[in-house]
């Protein structure tokens, strides 16, 4: 459905807060390592920090964002040595679980912690991190999600115990919410949300309340929460005020479809004043009918959507809501109609794309690439520079990167440099593996919280285009299916 990707980006933004929430211990450490002379000294400081700290979240950040990024092999060796020398204490089992890549082995470390001490917070923290990344925020068809789906029933008691723990971390608190929602314990999920909001947990948003209300069948409350969420995004500058109505429609439709309230989603979409002529509404109707198994009506509405301007060809082809239509005898006809709509809209897309043009200084940075070479923005004055802020756990990021890669390989002019800056990372090794496996044409750089903050990155992906004079002229927050088209238009404009 239209703007589902935008909606998912908004939800991921909320999740991002879990990973980059600022706390004194981690902030203090980051200030200390600015004086480090080399990677060896940073590794020594990381080791000292984890030995002295008792805060699991702070240790997690230091290990994942600093130590593993600076020297993954050294970090693994040091943590393993600490684990062996400290008689496999729960704290070091937690660290071993952090650096383990196999999700089932990670879970074994958590269970081993509980075997030693059933009340150890390290076990609950690790289990929460495992299920948050591998299940609640994972793609439905991922191997990790399939494996964890089989073990979740064995781990119910641990999640129930988390409900009674005092001062749960943000990761733990978010994981418990998703667990309660998944188990359809909706009153408990609502109470948990209200409790988390009362303690100012950053991951809580009105989107979460809307999801619970929709599953409870309290649709008016779900609608109000959706509206409140969008108002908050406007206040934070994450979306434009003029887009409010469109985004509220998309968010509320997503919430209803996510809760499988298809009849309510159908009734709501049909009630919109322009439902018969608005391409977005018609596309949403096509998705709902497809999910309900009414393929002929889905195709009919998809063709009407194309007639009134629905032109998202790649999104339509890959939309999981429409998978049931792929075998329909009129599917190819519908795709051709969407392609025709796309071809008709070239000039209006160009004008709309250029209307986003801005001008602000691009903060300077010096970051290491995968070979350890220091890359500086100031060295590219006179060239156009594209920056893509991303992380391996971010699904919209992983949707944007193949598009960016294809554009680089097929259309990028010689005077354009493209850097993918890895930030808020959980698994630095995986970032390298993704680049090597996909043979991405972008240059991989290892970012940090400072550069993300300097560019105002509150959610990822964040993509910006810097002109030859070092000014940011265009930016995109979240993944848009129009990314490649926008890059064509933006680069042509800056090369005039």
Q: How confident is the model at residue 218, as a pLDDT?
A: 97
CA distances from 371 to 133, 138, 176, 375, 422 (A): 28, 30, 40, 11, 14
Taking domain 352-494, whether its CATH number is 3.40.30.10 is answered by yes
Same CATH fold, 216-345 and 7-215?
A: yes
Does the structure show a pLDDT above 70 at 6?
no
Tens-place pLDDT, residues 219-246:
999 999 999 999 988 887 767 788 898 8
Q: How confident is the model at residue 141, as a pLDDT?
A: 64
Beta-carbon contacts of 32 under 8 Å, excluding residues fewer than 6 positions away, are 45
Tens-place pLDDT, residues 418-447:
999 999 876 677 788 889 888 999 999 999
Owner of token pair 């793609």: 139
Tens-place pLDDT, residues 356-371:
899 999 999 999 998 8
Give the C-alpha separation, 194 to 390, whole Å: 31
Cβ pair 248, 242 in contact under 8 A: no
Beta-carbon contacts of 205 under 8 Å, excluding residues fewer than 6 positions away, are 14, 229, 232
- Hey, how many other C-beta atoms are within 10 angstroms of the C-beta on 427? 19
pLDDT average, residue stretch 184-206: 93
Taking domain 7-215, whether its CATH number is 1.25.40 is answered by yes
More confident residue, 42 or 327: 327
- Domain 216-345 class, CATH top level: mainly alpha
Query: How is the chain split into domains, by residue range?
Result: 7-215, 216-345, 352-494
Give the C-alpha separation, 94 to 100, whole Å: 10
Q: Is 386 helix (H, G, I), strand (E, B) or coil?
A: strand
Token duo for residue 153: 């029933």
Tens-place pLDDT, residues 372-381:
899 999 999 9
Averaged pLDDT of the chain: 89
Token duo for residue 87: 């008689």
Does the structure show a pLDDT above 90 at 34?
no
180: cis peptide before it, omega within 30°? no
User: CA-based diameter of the chain, in Å?
Assistant: 69
Cβ pair 219, 213 in contact under 8 A: yes
């Amino acid at each position: 459905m239209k703007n589902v990707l935008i909606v998912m980006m908004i939800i991921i933004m909320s999740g991002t807060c879990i990973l980059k929430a600022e706390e004194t211990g981690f902030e203090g450490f980051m200030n200390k390592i600015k004086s480090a002379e080399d990677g060896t000294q940073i590794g020594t400081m990381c080791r000292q920090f984890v030995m002295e700290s008792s805060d699991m979240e702070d240790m997690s950040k230091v290990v994942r964002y600093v130590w593993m990024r600076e020297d993954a092999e050294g970090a693994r060796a040091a943590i393993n040595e600490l684990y062996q020398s400290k008689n496999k204490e729960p704290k070091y089992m937690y660290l071993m679980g952090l650096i383990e890549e196999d999700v089932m082995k990670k879970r074994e470390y958590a269970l081993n912690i509980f075997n030693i001490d059933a009340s150890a917070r390290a076990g609950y923290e690790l289990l929460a991190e495992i299920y948050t990344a591998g299940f609640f925020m994972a793609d439905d068809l991922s191997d990790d999600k399939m494996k964890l789906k089989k073990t979740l029933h064995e781990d119910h008691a641990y999640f129930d115990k988390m409900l009674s723990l005092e001062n749960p971390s943000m990761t733990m608190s978010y994981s418990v919410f998703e667990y309660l929602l998944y188990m359809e314990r909706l009153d408990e999920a609502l109470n948990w949300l209200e409790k988390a909001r009362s303690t100012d947990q950053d991951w809580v948003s009105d989107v979460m309340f809307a999801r619970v209300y929709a599953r409870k069948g309290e649709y008016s409350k779900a609608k109000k929460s959706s509206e409140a969420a969008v108002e908050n995004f406007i206040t934070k500058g994450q979306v434009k005020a003029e887009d409010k109505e469109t985004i509220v429609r998309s968010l509320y439709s997503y919430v209803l479809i996510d809760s499988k309230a298809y009849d309510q989603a159908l009734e709501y979409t049909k009630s919109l004043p322009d439902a018969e002529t608005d391409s977005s509404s018609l596309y949403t109707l096509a998705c709902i009918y497809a999910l309900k198994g009414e393929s002929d009506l889905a195709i009919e509405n998809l063709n009407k959507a194309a007639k009134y301007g629905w032109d998202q060809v790649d999104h339509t082809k890959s939309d999981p809501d429409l998978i049931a239509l792929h075998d329909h005898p009129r599917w190819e006809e519908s795709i051709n109609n969407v392609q025709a709509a796309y071809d008709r809209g070239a000039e209006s897309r160009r004008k709309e794309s250029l209307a986003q043009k801005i001008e602000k200084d691009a903060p300077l940075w010096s970051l290491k690439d995968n070979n350890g070479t220091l890359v500086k923005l100031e060295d590219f004055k006179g060239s156009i520079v594209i920056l893509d802020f991303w992380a391996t756990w971010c699904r919209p990021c992983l949707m944007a990167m193949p598009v960016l890669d294809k554009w680089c390989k097929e259309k990028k002019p010689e005077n354009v440099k493209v850097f993918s800056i890895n930030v808020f990372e959980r698994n630095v090794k995986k970032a390298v593996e993704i680049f090597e496996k996909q043979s991405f044409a972008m240059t991989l750089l290892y970012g940090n919280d400072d550069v993300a903050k300097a560019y105002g990155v509150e959610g990822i992906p964040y993509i910006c285009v810097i002109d030859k004079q070092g000014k940011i002229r265009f930016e995109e927050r979240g993944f848009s299916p129009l990314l490649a088209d926008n890059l064509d238009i933006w680069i042509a404009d800056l090369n005039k």
